[in-house]
Amino acid sequence: MRISNNMVETIITKFKSLFYKKNETKAMEILKDKNKVSKLLEEAMNKAKANRIGPIDEIWSKLQIVFSLLKDWISGEYKQIPMGSLMILVVGLIYFITPIDILPDLIPGGFVDDVVIFGFLFKQISADIDAYRSWKEEKAAITFYEKNGDAYADETLFIDMSDVYERFEVYLKAGDNILDAGCGAGRDSKHFLEKGYDVTSFDGCKKLTQRASSFIGKSVLNMKFTELNYNEDFNAIWACSSLIHLTRKAFVKVLLKFYEALKPEGHVYISLKYGDSEKVEDGRVFTSYTQSLVKDIIDTKTPFKIEESWITSDKRGGRENEKWLNVILYKS
């Protein structure tokens, strides 16, 4: 149910002046003891589940990402969120479980102020929430390939990619430094090494890095896209079907990391599922792109220029009807 902008401002102003400042110290004390954070989290989760119908449903997805983030922080799996952002979340949960509202609700349901306040707090730490989402999505994909890496390697290791290699190598010089980003079992790294290029390979899945290292005869980095930190180190980057498990927002961030890693006049090859969707299957994000959609993203959100793009059929047996979008980017 809609409320006026004036009421929204009133709720936020009273929250900041009457509640937030008074509960900062309490939040910091809770954060010193993960058992206390767990107890607070459990109370908030129970209250959310018991009151989902009504205004709470409007912020259900926000609450779920907050609950998930705090669970992963408590377990020690996720450590990248700043303490200041954690404090904001904890103060928000303290308010959520507090039975007395700052502003008596004028709308049936009793949670109008909670909806407004969580919307406000979410905006304060939106960058940290986005970073966590990217980490969570990448983790889900890696977990899948840790379980199914051998089958994936067996299915893809000997696919003939010669037509794509030839098209990309037009832009390369002898001995160029290539980053194989998301190298899988090492098929493409092996080809480029045999052609005399200097290849650095990485994959987020430890099982696949081990397979790749054995296959290509050199060390492969176990690294996630979110951990990329190069500065003009490569003449070219190869990312074959390795970006399909990123949301479009995360995709842009990785492209910007590629740009930083690439030397001037360098090139990037990417292959993406062809289509126009962003969905989750088996816990993994699957994102597809049309040529016009990629062009709009590249032109408006990155410094890259598109050299060329083309569509090919999937080379795996029985999947010929699935299409892939191939794109070569240029850094001036």
Q: Where are the domains of the chain?
A: 5-124, 133-330
What is the rounded average pLDDT of the residues 21-28?
Answer: 93
124-136 residue pLDDT tens: 999 999 999 989 9
Q: Treating both helix axes as pointing N-terminal to C-terminal, what angle do 34-50 and 60-75 enclose, rounded to 10 degrees?
A: 160
**The pLDDT of residue 106:** 43
Our separate counts of H helices and E strands in the chain read 12, 9
**The pLDDT of residue 103:** 56
Which band of pLDDT confidence, cut at 50, 70 and 90, is reported for residue 109?
A: very low
244 three-class SS: coil
Distance CA 246, CA 137 (A): 7
Distance CA 39, CA 107 (A): 30
Examine the pLDDT at 83 and tell me if it is beyond 90: yes
Listed in sequence order, the residues at least 6 apart from 35 whose beta carbon sits closer than 8 Å to its beta carbon are: none
Examine the pLDDT at 98 and tell me if it is beyond 60: yes
The answer to whether 225 and 204 are in contact (CB under 8 A) is yes
Q: Which residue has the higher pLDDT, 105 or 164?
A: 164
Q: What is the pTM of this model?
A: 0.82
Examine the pLDDT at 107 and tell me if it is beyond 70: no
**The pLDDT of residue 324:** 97
CATH class of the domain at 133-330:
alpha beta
Which band of pLDDT confidence, cut at 50, 70 and 90, is reported for residue 1?
A: low
Mean pLDDT rounded to a whole number for the chain:
92
Task: Please state, for a pLDDT cut of 90, what percent of the chain lies above it.
Answer: 77
Examine the pLDDT at 111 and tell me if it is beyond 80: no
What is the rounded average pLDDT of the residues 242-264?
Answer: 96
Distance CA 228, CA 65 (A): 24
- Which of 186-190, 280-284, 312-316 has the highest mean predicted lDDT (pLDDT)? 186-190
What is the rounded average pLDDT of the residues 70-79?
Answer: 96
Which band of pLDDT confidence, cut at 50, 70 and 90, is reported for residue 313?
A: very high
What is the rounded average pLDDT of the residues 182-199?
Answer: 98
Which band of pLDDT confidence, cut at 50, 70 and 90, is reported for residue 141?
A: very high
Distance CA 286, CA 140 (A): 11
